[in-house]
Structure 1
Amino acid sequence: MKKLLVILFLLASVSAVPQRAFDTGEYFKFRIHYGIVNAGYATLEVKEATRSGKKVHHVVGKGYTTGMTKFFFKVEDLYESYFDKITGQPYQFVRKIDEGGYTKNQEGFFNQGNNTVLVKDYKNKKQKTFSVPENVQDIVSTFYYLRNHPDVDKLKVGESISVDMFFDDETTKFKLKFIGRENISTKFGTVSAMIFRPYVQAGRVFKEEESLTVWISDDKNKVPLRIKASLAVGSLKADLEEYRGLSHPFNAK
């Protein structure tokens, strides 16, 4: 459950159009389910804030379990990011999570000029400065940065794009491979979708390196429609349940 939430925040939308693919007021809600069991929900909302005297995007991502899933494994996650409206570079991130008793309460402050990020760990009452590459992103700003990336629609089947992402006190390469296109059935109708697979580390949770698949609307919004994760004990799916505030028409038949 918690791994799917992280990937959901990473992959919620990818676009490559000259126009801005999103703006203040955009909202997504996803239903996360294990077979017929409703495991929880995740939401993403684009707000506005002020940093360094300028208006910036403030994205708030939440994930939480419901019903019997909450009884057996409670998840309450909060991810936030403040990033530049033009360049997409992050100023600040917030990560406050409770995943079955595993908790974190962190805030990070980026200095893009010095290529550093100051991470304040409120749970352990300590802080540390990390060196990062140029144009590094946090976990939330990553997918919003990709929404206006110039190369996604140019990818051929089998090709991929990558972004430097700071997460869990280290910088990793977030790599996304284009699989192809297909029409999928959603609660909103049949939608033409692009299919991607992120590279993730195989281990205790995921079956293999490419065990995740994401379907994204093949339009100017690049709306996240579905994510499927093959796990060591089955598979989880996240389907778009609700949306509002899109910047472009959303076509469903």
Structure 2
Amino acid sequence: MKKIGLLILLFITTNSFVSQEDSYTTGEFIKLRIHYGLVNAGYATLEVKEAVKNNKKVHHVIGKGYTVGMAKFFFKVEDDYQSYFDKITNKPYQFLRKIDEGGYTKHQEGFFNQDSNTVLVKDYKKKTEKTFSVTDDVQDIVSSFYYLRNHPKIDKLKEGESIYIDMFFDDETTKFKLKFLGREDIKTKFGKVSCMMFRPYVQAGRVFKEDESLTVWISDDENKIPIRLKASLAVGSLKADIDSFKGLKTTLKVKK
């Protein structure tokens, strides 16, 4: 059941991808249902709001993940990931990570100083404050993939090619790798959706290992929203499928 927490994290961190113009706007809301076989295990959501930081309007993304029913009884997950980032540069100003995954808890906020390339992390559980040096183009775990939505190469990748970015997570900067696997039509409750397939990796020994079979299907249209995520297990697989959405910048392309 620990895979539920990882899949929720994967959903939050692989929200969607597109090129050139912003593929999202204030008011976008996406919800995925997480299931193991026929068992409804939980949900993950992402919502784009607007806030003010440094006297300017910025994107405020709120990502939630939680288990339900029997899954909640056996392995309770309540995750809250948030990010505030610049509407033009996509550089993050602040992040929140407040999680409870089967009793494993963490409550942190990070405050980025773009001038000095540092981030002040306040750990409310440990009651500590630490400042870390970061790279010039670093992203937090949520802003990373809104950045990738507008990456100029994302829709030009050939099968087997990858994109790398710097991501600050768990008090350090790590390389995040996104590998393009190809294209496939996915059947959803809304109809068939043409998708791009990706495999996300974090450095070996981190949350995800390269030998883990984690795949995400992203709509191959202007929105590039997550349609399906899958984590293959020793027996069966844990999946997340799109359950609802609203406020997309353009109409989702669906094959009837």
Q: Do they fold alike, i.e. is TM over 0.5?
A: yes
| Distance 1:202-1:170 versus aligned 2 partners, 3 A rule | closer
| Distance 1:204-1:135 versus aligned 2 partners, 3 A rule | closer
Identity %: 71
CA separation in 1, counterparts of 2:205 and 2:67? Answer: 23
Gaps of 5+ in 1: none
Gaps of 5+ in 2: none
CA separation in 1, counterparts of 2:212 and 2:127? Answer: 37
Is contact 1:45–1:61 with CA below 8 Å preserved after alignment? yes
Q: Report the secondary structure of 1:133's partner residue.
A: coil
Does residue 18 of structure 2 align to residue 15 of structure 1? yes
> Residue type matched to 2:244 in 1?
E
Is contact 2:202–2:209 with CA below 8 Å preserved after alignment? no
Match of 1:5 in 2: 8
> Residue type matched to 1:231 in 2?
L
With normalisation by structure 2, the TM-score equals 0.94
Paired residues in the alignment total 252
> Residue type matched to 1:11 in 2?
T
Match of 1:186 in 2: 188
Is contact 1:78–1:94 with CA below 8 Å preserved after alignment? yes
Is contact 2:203–2:209 with CA below 8 Å preserved after alignment? no
Is contact 1:199–1:209 with CA below 8 Å preserved after alignment? no
Match of 2:253 in 1: 251
Once the two structures are superposed, the pairs formed by residues 65-214 of structure 1 within 5 Å of their partners are: 65-200=67-202, 209-214=211-216
Is contact 1:206–1:230 with CA below 8 Å preserved after alignment? no
CA separation in 2, counterparts of 1:210 and 1:154? Answer: 25
| Distance 1:76-1:207 versus aligned 2 partners, 3 A rule | same
Match of 2:242 in 1: 240
CA separation in 2, counterparts of 1:68 and 1:106? Answer: 29
Is contact 1:216–1:223 with CA below 8 Å preserved after alignment? yes
**1:19 to partner: Cα distance:** 2.2
Is contact 2:174–2:202 with CA below 8 Å preserved after alignment? no
With normalisation by structure 1, the TM-score equals 0.95
Is contact 1:30–1:41 with CA below 8 Å preserved after alignment? yes
CA separation in 1, counterparts of 2:216 and 2:110? Answer: 28
> Residue type matched to 2:170 in 1?
D
